[in-house]
A and B are shown apart, each in its own frame.
Chain A
């Protein structure tokens, strides 16, 4: 299978997953295109650019600077500040704490190093330890993905906590709900991965707490504050969505043998393959576009354009689709409303509602 995935990607290194990508994938488990591109490690951002549909993402260097400087404050001196916060938050009399930067070993060793460290911590009743930059793995759609969390795992008395450092502010105990939700979704991916690791090593997975520690700047200053976020709901959603993902081998089965998303980069790294050909290859794998993709997926503009061309009601979002009782095409829904289209079996109810809506609109706007 890996050979097929390599062929799909072409002769370039595979892009690693991050928790954001997995959270996004879990948010839209029906999207075969995203599942396959991610499994093959295709550089979606580059692909979208080459197709002429760059994603509207970008990060301001001001935001990056702020994020980095905040992280430095939190992690300074072997996470001294973080320890203070955790002592208060978890009400633990931790006198000392060890600090292990897993990044200190070579990239190829990081995962096994993480494994060994976690195993030792779970076996021995050793002192509290911070693990910075652990490398975790998670099986997604029958395919192992490596995660490089920008987080710290904290182990005390054999119990693990995921610590997520974010640079959005908590003002008077309140933060922007959207950002907290996104952080919780990402943290849930790490909790799941760490639990999988413990289970694999033969330990009880409950030793990873479902309460993650979210560290954010307090009010308008750069001083950190910490809060526990219960991610049980996110974990349940993530688990369910991941099992719903079609297995990658099933996705591959339906595809032509020679299919590839290779951009054929030349000596200078500039893609040489005609964009039309790449678009044609991509169109072989169905996407499920939703407006939420606009904030999570690099391919969003390409898929939106495709949805627009085909006149799909997906364009308008789930709410509208629900109102339309699942009628998937704009022309079909309008046809039913205007009575130019006979409802198919099972569509009688929605057709009646749409015709009534049409009559009411006509009457009021006359």
Chain B
């Protein structure tokens, strides 16, 4: 939360409608995403109750567990879910491209990747739990399940893990994707409610966002977006219907439960597609493509891992694996934050507010300026930028610019007093102007040009140096035992 976002929220209260906090879209929206709205039985860890799923807004598939406490019915549900999810996911495996790497073997990468959208963070967590409860199942032995069940479990686990990665769009929560782009006039806590969030962003005609959001809080009009259902619905509608099913498990009683659950899922299903439309309407940021390429690469590697017959993901990471995962998440977070700022002046404005970036107009330029004599003579163009922003960087700081890729400059001098008059910053360009005697045309900003500089850089960061798992030091428990899925895993109770 920055003062900029806080201000946007205040504006939202006054104007009665959510305010944009970005100028571009920072997440990928696939041409054909799969929307998945799961419902779970209240009080249980991961007992699926129902789900609405599909890639066509007009034709959702409704899956229902008439008695969620029945283990067989749960696995029947997951098998049905697999029938929908697996063909969608595996459909992206076929078409690949060859990616050349500098200093490495070329590799294959899928041209497109699946994208699953769930309503909220809890929905994404539920995907992980469902994955956890199914990936160790066996297709033979005491409690056999359909072969698609453990495979689905591994995919769901993969998607849930991947959704932890900042900037990844393979599994996205709608509330988070929307919250990234709009500030509402309610608290962050209330933004976790998809119905009120969408109401603030896109209120129906004749209503303010605030009024629409208030109405959207009524669980009778807008049932919760799951996975937990409305307690009133549980007690008054669902419980009697489940009871009737227990008395007489007929087609009719199943239909009664399905109808009841449809009323809870339908509104959210429509909201999800409205969220997709709202996101699609925003112009895509430049670096969204790069990040989606990373997602496609990750997806491809996972399909390869499955094809090689690797074991299901372990219950817990080993010490080295956990450290590597954490370091990876940190790098992804840092890089994602910088990329968004480079893509979007409004995000960059947050850094201008804190003095980590400044924008201004070029008021003087010496593009032919050099340093050193004789053979060590180097081209170092000088540029003076006049800005009204508070500059809190010291001379000697190296800054980059979203205006030019591969461009870097060093702050030479800062003069003037912020707040009283405009500040003048003298910059020495040190990178990205070519190797010639005079700079490459266009590489040095010209007088009158509007430029932005920041100390944020998205330079390549090498991954943390960690030992091989076999060499885990004793301080971290020593080398972990290799994970072999056991019969115990497969027969684990799921009641």
A residues engaging B (CB < 8 A)?
56, 58-67, 167-169, 171-173, 217, 219-223, 291-292, 294-295, 308, 311, 313, 315-317, 319-320, 322-324, 330-331, 333-334, 337, 352-354, 356-361, 363-365
Q: How many residues of B contact A (CB 8 A)?
A: 57
- Measured CB to CB, the closest approach of chain A to B71, in angstroms, equals 10
- Asked if A67 and B43 make an inter-chain contact with CB atoms under 8 angstroms apart, the answer reads yes
Beta-carbon nearest neighbor of A352 in chain B? B419
- Asked if A356 and B42 make an inter-chain contact with CB atoms under 8 angstroms apart, the answer reads no
CB-CB < 8 A to B1: which residues of A?
Answer: 319-320, 322-323
- Asked if B187 and A220 make an inter-chain contact with CB atoms under 8 angstroms apart, the answer reads no
Assess whether B234 is interfacial by the CB under 8 Å rule: yes
- Asked if B419 and A221 make an inter-chain contact with CB atoms under 8 angstroms apart, the answer reads no
Give Cα A66–Cα B69 distance, bound, in whole angstroms: 10
CB-CB < 8 A to A331: which residues of B?
Answer: 14
- Asked if B493 and A220 make an inter-chain contact with CB atoms under 8 angstroms apart, the answer reads yes
Q: Which of A66, A313, A361 contacts B4 (CB under 8 A)?
A: A361
CB-CB < 8 A to A66: which residues of B?
Answer: 42-44
Give Cα A321–Cα B476 distance, bound, in whole angstroms: 42
Give Cα A356–Cα B239 distance, bound, in whole angstroms: 56
- Asked if B42 and A171 make an inter-chain contact with CB atoms under 8 angstroms apart, the answer reads no
- For B182-211 the 0/1 string (1 means CB < 8 A from A) is 000111111000000000000000000010
B residues engaging A (CB < 8 A)?
1-11, 13-14, 20, 23, 41-46, 129, 132-133, 185-190, 210, 217, 219, 228-232, 234-235, 238-239, 315-316, 345-346, 349, 352-353, 388-390, 419, 492-495
- Asked if A62 and B239 make an inter-chain contact with CB atoms under 8 angstroms apart, the answer reads yes
Q: Which of B6, B43, B390 contacts A65 (CB under 8 A)?
A: B43
| A365-B353 in contact given A62-B234, A220-B493 (Cβ < 8 Å) | no
| A62-B493 in contact given A319-B1, A337-B7 (Cβ < 8 Å) | no
- Asked if B6 and A361 make an inter-chain contact with CB atoms under 8 angstroms apart, the answer reads no
Q: Which of B10, B187, B349, B388 contacts A334 (CB under 8 A)?
A: B10
Give Cα A64–Cα B43 distance, bound, in whole angstroms: 7
- Asked if B345 and A364 make an inter-chain contact with CB atoms under 8 angstroms apart, the answer reads yes
- Asked if B235 and A61 make an inter-chain contact with CB atoms under 8 angstroms apart, the answer reads yes
- Asked if B43 and A364 make an inter-chain contact with CB atoms under 8 angstroms apart, the answer reads no
Give Cα A61–Cα B346 distance, bound, in whole angstroms: 47
| A60-B231 in contact given A330-B13, A360-B352 (Cβ < 8 Å) | yes
- Asked if B346 and A365 make an inter-chain contact with CB atoms under 8 angstroms apart, the answer reads yes
| A291-B43 in contact given A223-B493, A334-B10, A356-B390 (Cβ < 8 Å) | no
CB-CB < 8 A to A171: which residues of B?
Answer: 45, 129, 132
Beta-carbon nearest neighbor of A305 in chain B? B214
Give Cα A56–Cα B230 distance, bound, in whole angstroms: 10
- Asked if A220 and B217 make an inter-chain contact with CB atoms under 8 angstroms apart, the answer reads no
| A217-B229 in contact given A316-B9, A330-B14 (Cβ < 8 Å) | no
- Asked if A291 and B345 make an inter-chain contact with CB atoms under 8 angstroms apart, the answer reads no
Beta-carbon nearest neighbor of A223 in chain B? B493
Give Cα A315–Cα B187 distance, bound, in whole angstroms: 6
Give Cα A315–Cα B13 distance, bound, in whole angstroms: 10
- Measured CB to CB, the closest approach of chain A to B438, in angstroms, equals 33
- Asked if A319 and B188 make an inter-chain contact with CB atoms under 8 angstroms apart, the answer reads yes
Give Cα A65–Cα B235 distance, bound, in whole angstroms: 12
A-B contact pairs, 10 of them (CB 8 A): A60-B229, A62-B239, A63-B43, A291-B187, A320-B1, A331-B14, A334-B7, A360-B349, A360-B353, A364-B346
- Asked if B494 and A221 make an inter-chain contact with CB atoms under 8 angstroms apart, the answer reads yes
CB-CB < 8 A to B232: which residues of A?
Answer: 58
CB-CB < 8 A to A334: which residues of B?
Answer: 7, 10-11, 14
- Asked if A361 and B45 make an inter-chain contact with CB atoms under 8 angstroms apart, the answer reads no
Give Cα A360–Cα B186 distance, bound, in whole angstroms: 23
- Asked if A60 and B42 make an inter-chain contact with CB atoms under 8 angstroms apart, the answer reads yes
| A365-B45 in contact given A223-B493, A323-B3 (Cβ < 8 Å) | no
- Measured CB to CB, the closest approach of chain B to A319, in angstroms, equals 4
| A291-B190 in contact given A58-B231, A220-B493 (Cβ < 8 Å) | yes
Q: Which of B41, B132, B235, B353 contacts A357 (CB under 8 A)?
A: B353
- Measured CB to CB, the closest approach of chain A to B494, in angstroms, equals 4
- Measured CB to CB, the closest approach of chain A to B67, in angstroms, equals 11
- Asked if B315 and A172 make an inter-chain contact with CB atoms under 8 angstroms apart, the answer reads yes
- Asked if B494 and A220 make an inter-chain contact with CB atoms under 8 angstroms apart, the answer reads yes
Give Cα A315–Cα B14 distance, bound, in whole angstroms: 13
Beta-carbon nearest neighbor of B132 in chain A? A171
CB-CB < 8 A to A295: which residues of B?
Answer: 189
| A365-B23 in contact given A58-B232, A62-B234, A334-B14 (Cβ < 8 Å) | yes
Highest count of chain A CB atoms <10 Å: which of B2, B13, B210: B13
Give Cα A62–Cα B239 distance, bound, in whole angstroms: 8
- Asked if B316 and A316 make an inter-chain contact with CB atoms under 8 angstroms apart, the answer reads no
CB-CB < 8 A to B315: which residues of A?
Answer: 172
- Asked if B132 and A172 make an inter-chain contact with CB atoms under 8 angstroms apart, the answer reads yes
List the 8 closest pairs (A to B, CB-CB), nearest first.
A63-B43, A169-B45, A58-B231, A221-B493, A291-B187, A60-B42, A66-B43, A60-B234
Beta-carbon nearest neighbor of A314 in chain B? B187
- Asked if B3 and A324 make an inter-chain contact with CB atoms under 8 angstroms apart, the answer reads yes
Give Cα A364–Cα B494 distance, bound, in whole angstroms: 53
CB-CB < 8 A to B44: which residues of A?
Answer: 62, 66
CB-CB < 8 A to B11: which residues of A?
Answer: 334
CB-CB < 8 A to A320: which residues of B?
Answer: 1, 6, 9, 187
Give Cα A11–Cα B147 distance, bound, in whole angstroms: 65
- Asked if B353 and A219 make an inter-chain contact with CB atoms under 8 angstroms apart, the answer reads no
CB-CB < 8 A to A172: which residues of B?
Answer: 132, 315-316
CB-CB < 8 A to A294: which residues of B?
Answer: 189-190
- Measured CB to CB, the closest approach of chain A to B317, in angstroms, equals 10
Give Cα A115–Cα B23 distance, bound, in whole angstroms: 65
Give Cα A62–Cα B312 distance, bound, in whole angstroms: 32
Q: 8 more A-B contacts (CB under 8 A) besides A62-B239, A360-B349?
A: A172-B132, A172-B315, A223-B493, A316-B185, A320-B1, A334-B10, A361-B349, A365-B20
Give Cα A62–Cα B45 distance, bound, in whole angstroms: 12
Give Cα A65–Cα B316 distance, bound, in whole angstroms: 31
Give Cα A320–Cα B235 distance, bound, in whole angstroms: 37
Give Cα A277–Cα B81 distance, bound, in whole angstroms: 54
Q: Which of B3, B210, B492 contacts A219 (CB under 8 A)?
A: B492
- Asked if A357 and B190 make an inter-chain contact with CB atoms under 8 angstroms apart, the answer reads no
Highest count of chain A CB atoms <10 Å: which of B7, B185, B190, B493: B7
Highest count of chain A CB atoms <10 Å: which of B219, B231, B345, B493: B231
- Measured CB to CB, the closest approach of chain B to A224, in angstroms, equals 13
CB-CB < 8 A to A56: which residues of B?
Answer: 217, 219
| A62-B42 in contact given A172-B132, A364-B23 (Cβ < 8 Å) | yes
CB-CB < 8 A to B217: which residues of A?
Answer: 56
- Asked if B41 and A317 make an inter-chain contact with CB atoms under 8 angstroms apart, the answer reads no
- Asked if A361 and B7 make an inter-chain contact with CB atoms under 8 angstroms apart, the answer reads yes
CB-CB < 8 A to B5: which residues of A?
Answer: 323
- Asked if B188 and A317 make an inter-chain contact with CB atoms under 8 angstroms apart, the answer reads yes
- Asked if A361 and B14 make an inter-chain contact with CB atoms under 8 angstroms apart, the answer reads no
CB-CB < 8 A to B494: which residues of A?
Answer: 220-221
Give Cα A61–Cα B242 distance, bound, in whole angstroms: 12
Give Cα A113–Cα B188 distance, bound, in whole angstroms: 46
Q: Which of B189, B352, B495 contacts A291 (CB under 8 A)?
A: B189
Give Cα A313–Cα B132 distance, bound, in whole angstroms: 42
Beta-carbon nearest neighbor of A313 in chain B? B10
Give Cα A217–Cα B133 distance, bound, in whole angstroms: 15
- Measured CB to CB, the closest approach of chain A to B223, in angstroms, equals 13
